[in-house]
Amino acid sequence: MDFFAGRFGRCILCDNPLAGEGPTSMSAQQKTRVVGEAVLRKEGRDKLVGRACYVDDIASDGMLFGVTVRSTIPRGLIKAITFDPAVNWNEFTIVTAADVPGENRIQLIIADQPCLAEHEVNHCEEPIVLLAHADRQKARAAVEAVRIEYEPLPAVLGIEESERRETIVWGEDNLLKKFLLEKGDVDGAWAGAARIVEGEYRAGAQEHLYIEPNGVIAEWNEEKGVAVRGSMQCPYYVLKSLKGLMGLPEEKVRVAQTETGGAFGGKEDYPSILACHAALLAKKSGRTVRMIYDRAEDMAATTKRHPARVRHRTALDGDGKLLAMEIDLDIDGGAYATLSSTVLSRATLHSTGPYLCPNIRVRSRAWATNQIPYGAFRGFGAPQAIFAMERHMDEIAAAVGMDPVELRRRNFLHTGDKNATEQLMREPVPMDVILDRALKESDFYAKRERFARENATSDIKRGVGLAAFYHGSGFTGSGEVYLNSLAGIDVTQEGRARVLVSNTEFGQGTNTVLAQVAAEALGIDYNDVTIAVPDTDEVPNSGPTVASRTSMVVGRLIERAGGQLLKMLREEAGLGERYTREEFFAACERHRARHGEVHSESRYEAPPGIHWDDAKYHGEAYGAYSWAVYVAQVAVDTVTYSAEVEEFWAVQEAGRILHPVLAPGQIEGGVAQGIGYSLYEKVLNESGRMVNNQMTNYIIPTAEDIPPIHVSFEELPFAHGGYGAKGIGELPHDGPPPAILNAIRNATGAAVNSVPVLPEDLMEVLAAREATI
Amino acid sequence: MSAQWPAIYFTVNGAKKTVNVPPMKRLLDVLREDLRLTGTKEGCGEGECGSCSVRMNGELVNSCLVPALQAEGAEIETVEGLARNDELHPLQEAFLEHGGAQCGACTPGFLMASAQLLERNPRPDLDAVREALAGNLCRCTGYMRIFESVAAAAARAEEKADAR
């Protein structure tokens, strides 16, 4: 640790010739009072006493309950919609595509997804008719009384079918998006290779399973327009869709987040659809309409992680150094474009791992199918790509007879190197130090030796495996520039500083961390800072709460807004260099008396040296990277074929750690989801429908399944992040799948190349292996 | 509209309650809709996730699986009954300090299951905590900090007992 601080502490802040470009934030090296302290979660008390108000907790008096009639086939033409005459439909509000006042589209990247299907359906569970009734039970029962007749069309249900293009279900060629990433001369590299290793890896869908299902409440007023409250990550995304659908100007659309019980990407894009549905019912009925999915509907109808197939072909020289990497990465995007292009981009950019390689070609494609559209999920394509890369590294090591740790060490990127998009690694690359620490903390080599000895005489085979990876923080490429985020701080008449952002709290700690940053920047107490409700009528658009960007990007905006507010108070309201809390708020009141408000805001500026070329897919893909090495210890029971993670080590560098309880909490939670993705969570799909859409048969890890998770951080403050922060939220989902499957490889000798791996999958691989021995 | 149903009597957090609801209405809905005690959450509606855990006559139950009629005469405890006036229960304090709650949706259920555990086993070891909480699903924390919170609450309760 000391060694580490000495080595990088010096170069990052003082004389690293690469780090010194452009103005850097001095805050990264400052001693802080609030940042880095274990302050109590802002909304924690409300959550613990049962007072936090989630959307389903809002009193429903006088509201209608909205429900959805969905397609039961993956693809077809709608021939007729009939309503069972046994039901008194006069009691119901009924909405179809014909009731859409504006454009019948969900506004995301490409507006190809209808809000309600009109002439055709392109996936199961596609919404066709909306019903609302004052009685929730009656509303739910009525769904079965609406009959849709179809003329079925041939459906495409996977990557292989889609890429054959025998049936075209989207555009001219089923291709939602493709990228080509090239560096050096791959074709010229194979001839000089000492060794070429190939492999194919697959990653399945995954359900978010936030504990609070999706839900919204919509109100309609002829003069004021539409207002929606609900569980969501991105109020301004919802606003954009409502504007287009309802044909309203921005000032007639209002969206506010209610307390949100988990999201993980599952409430990034989907709430736009639900909000549009509720808004249509509210407009037609003239009543307030609530739509709260039950668990089965939420699991069946909402987005999942994209299934992926990744093929690697890798050339090495005689010393185990990477000469060339050719990667074909394909994901199933589902029936509409949704976020698949950006998920594919992040997958592409993470597919080559934290390694230096002179010759690279990645061809990536997102395929349209008639599956329910896949969407954002923690990691956003990176976990699938990193699973393939890191599983492949162990297979390369086995093929060339090298220690997989040494293979990685020989190929790590270092400061001053250029990665796959030829982004210069300006900031220190700490992979060697993190690797050493992970090996030491997990006692990696001693365990490998001991387990090899013990396994020989036991039905329980133990093993350890690791994964090395990086995760880019913030939006990809020019994304942050396009977002053009604006964040503010004001001081209320009640004497509280208030953070004004559209970023949302859904468990990860946004409220707490941004309040810490504001308190630090303003030189006041944490308890003197509040967070404004993310309501589009009240807060500026500081961008979506996604992509591990909040602490780094929005944190930095709040830090700057705080600095500007202080400067203003010093120059215009007589605040001294040193001041007490009372003096601060007294200066605010003097300023308010003169100007009517105390307010400051800050807009995103790209750090210097960040250039991304979309056309060439080349340049600075991310403002910063977080780095990690994860180690899993597993036990495989060769009688029952069950695999269990016995212990887990997560070592990472994610910039400055702003909160010593919340940050490791993010890592532990992400590792647990990653363990679930590796060993438990299998979406069973039959003809385009999820058939295990219950907690009973879609299994997430319980308290008895999660092993001790040891979390450690190296801290290298990032000059352009909020008080030195980099992204942290998604990183921990990347490492567990490859680390666990590499540990299974170590334990059993079997190369299992797909996740999830349930006992039946492991049995297949191990039995096949026994048969060949 | 509720008068058509026979009255069901029970106590919630020590207070006597009377509701006129269909006998098969879920206790979860009676608490949330009729009594406006919305601290108890619905996660799955089929007894898998434990988010709706409450205590009924000292036993931990999934309130989504309990028909209202079955609560007749029962003593029900919910998350709203843990804090006394403004003083948090040691479990609530510990969850707050140790990061046992993130999104908060599973939290009321975990608090009730933990309270049940500590009442029966004031100093549980880690295995006992894991077992007692295995009926409650959390998707945010990875459980580590929930275990830590329960251990801290147990230690705090013991300190308080010693101080008396």
pLDDT (tens digit per residue) in A392-407: 999 999 999 999 999 9
B84 membership: H or E segment, kind and range: none
**Which CATH superfamily is A62-153+214-292 part of?**
Aldehyde oxidase/xanthine dehydrogenase, a/b hammerhead (3.90.1170.50)
Split at pLDDT 50, 70, 90, the class of A427 is very high
| Subunit contact A665:B78, Cβ cutoff 8 A | no
Rounded mean pLDDT, A149-153: 98
What single letter denotes the amino acid at residue A210?
Y
Sequence ranges of the domains in chain B: 7-81, 90-163
pLDDT tens profile A176-210: 999 999 999 999 999 999 999 999 999 999 999 99
Q: How far is B21 from chain A (nearest CA, A)?
A: 14
Q: Is residue A62 scored above 80 in pLDDT?
A: yes
Beta strand B59-62 with B53-56 is: antiparallel
pLDDT at B2 over 90: no
Q: Does A699 touch chain B (CB under 8 A)?
A: no
Do A54 and B41 lie within an 8 Å CB cutoff?
yes
Tell me what the mean pLDDT of segment A630-642 comes to.
97
Q: pLDDT tens digits, residue range A743-752?
A: 999 999 999 9
Q: Is the pLDDT of residue A19 over 60?
A: no
Mean pLDDT to the nearest integer, A636-653: 97
Fold category of B90-163 in CATH? DNA polymerase; domain 1 (1.10.150)
Q: How confident is the model at residue A768 (pLDDT cuts 50, 70, 90)?
A: confident
- Is residue A14's pLDDT more than 70? no
Which structure tokens are listed for B30? 């009676």
Partner-chain contact B43 A295, CB within 8 Å: yes
Predicted confidence at residue A79, as pLDDT, reads 98
Interaxial angle between packed helices A736-748 and A382-400, expressed in degrees from 0 to 180 and rounded to the nearest 10: 30
Collect all residues with Cβ–Cβ distance below 8 Å to B95 and sequence separation of at least 6: A44, A48, B101, B107, B110, B111, B146, B149, B153
CA separation for the pair B140, A672 (Å, rounded)? 8
Q: What is the pLDDT of residue A202?
A: 98
Contacts of B48 in chain A (CB under 8 A): 694-696
Whether the predicted pLDDT of A88 surpasses 80: yes
- For residue B145, the chain A residues in CB contact (below 8 A) are 661, 664-665, 668
What's the rounded mean pLDDT across residues A530-546? Answer: 98
Residue written as tokens 């474009």?
Answer: A337
**Can you tell me the ipTM of this complex?**
0.98
Q: What is the pLDDT of residue A17?
A: 32
Question: Given this chain, do its domains A32-48+485-603 and A62-153+214-292 carry the same CATH topology?
Answer: no
Of B44, B48, B142, the CB nearest to A669: B142
**In terms of Cα–Cα distance, which of A422, A420, A444, A468 is closest to A653?**
A468
How high does pLDDT run on average in chain A?
95
Contact of B79 with A49, CB cutoff 8 Å: yes
CATH class of A32-48+485-603: alpha beta
Banded model confidence at residue B157, pLDDT cuts 50, 70, 90: confident
What pLDDT is recorded for position A11? 28
pLDDT band for position A633 (cuts 50, 70, 90): very high
What's the topology of domain A308-477+615-772?
Aldehyde Oxidoreductase; domain 4 (3.30.365)
What would the 3-class secondary structure string for A343-367 be?
Answer: HHHHHHHHCCCCECCCEEEEEEEEE
Q: For residue B163, what pLDDT band results from cuts at 50, 70 and 90?
A: confident
Q: Which of A48, A512, A662 to mutate to test the interface with B (most CBs of B within 10 A)?
A: A48
Banded pLDDT at A574 (limits 50, 70, 90): very high
Given a cut of 60, whether residue A5 has pLDDT beyond it is: no
Asked whether the beta carbons of residue B43 and residue A211 sit closer than 8 angstroms, the reply is yes
Whole-number Å distance between alpha carbons of A108 and A761:
37
What is the reported pLDDT for A183? Answer: 98
On the question of pLDDT at A297 being above 60, the answer is: yes
Could you tell me which residues come within 8 angstroms of residue A315 by beta carbon, excluding any fewer than 6 positions away? A189, A190, A192, A193, A195, A196, A322, A323, A324, A325, A359
Contact assessment for residue A229 and residue A217, using Cβ atoms and an 8 Å cutoff: yes
**How far apart are alpha carbons B157 and A105 in whole angstroms?**
56
The CB density around residue B107, as the number of other CB atoms within 10 Å, is 32
Q: Check residue B160 and give its pLDDT.
A: 80
Contact A566, A575 (CB under 8 A): yes
pLDDT grade, residue A223 (50/70/90)? very high
What pLDDT sits at residue A399?
97
- Give the mean pLDDT of A436-459: 98
Q: Is B3 exposed, middle or buried (0-12, 13-18, 19+ CB in 10 A)?
A: exposed
Mutate which: B44, B51, B92, B112, vs A, most A CBs within 10 A: B44
Task: Average the pLDDT over each of A26-30, A153-157, A475-479, A676-680 and give the range with the smallest value.
Answer: A26-30
Kindly report the backbone phi and psi dihedral angles of residue A66, in degrees, each rounded to the nearest multiple of 5, phi listed first: -100, 140
What's the CATH fold of domain B7-81? Answer: Ubiquitin-like (UB roll) (3.10.20)
pLDDT of residue A577 exceeding 50, the answer is yes
Alpha-carbon torsion (A611, A614, A615, A616), positive or negative = positive
Nearest to B130 among A53, A211, A704 (CB): A704
Give which of B101, B148, B94 is closest to A511, Cα–Cα.
B101
Mean pLDDT calculated for residue range A353-358: 98
Question: Looking at beta carbons, which residues of chain B come within 8 Å of A695?
Answer: 43-44, 46, 48-49, 137
| Domain locations along chain A | 32-48+485-603, 62-153+214-292, 308-477+615-772
- In angstroms, the separation between the Cα of residue B79 and the nearest Cα of chain A is 6
B37, A50: Cβ pair inside 8 Å?
A: yes
Rounded CA gap, A404 and A397, in Å? 5
Please name the member of A209, A668, A694 whose beta carbon is closest to the beta carbon of B141. Answer: A668
Burial (CB < 10 A; 0-12, 13-18, 19+), residue A459, is exposed
Look up the pTM and report it.
0.96
Confidence of residue B3 (pLDDT cuts 50, 70, 90): low
- Distance, in Å, from the CA atom of B1 to the CA atom of B33, rounded to the nearest integer, reads 14
- CA–chain centroid gap for A638, Å, is 35
Looking at A265-269, A484-488, A521-525, B84-88, which range is the least confident one?
A: B84-88
Q: Indicate yes or no: CB of A56 within 8 angstroms of CB of B38.
A: yes
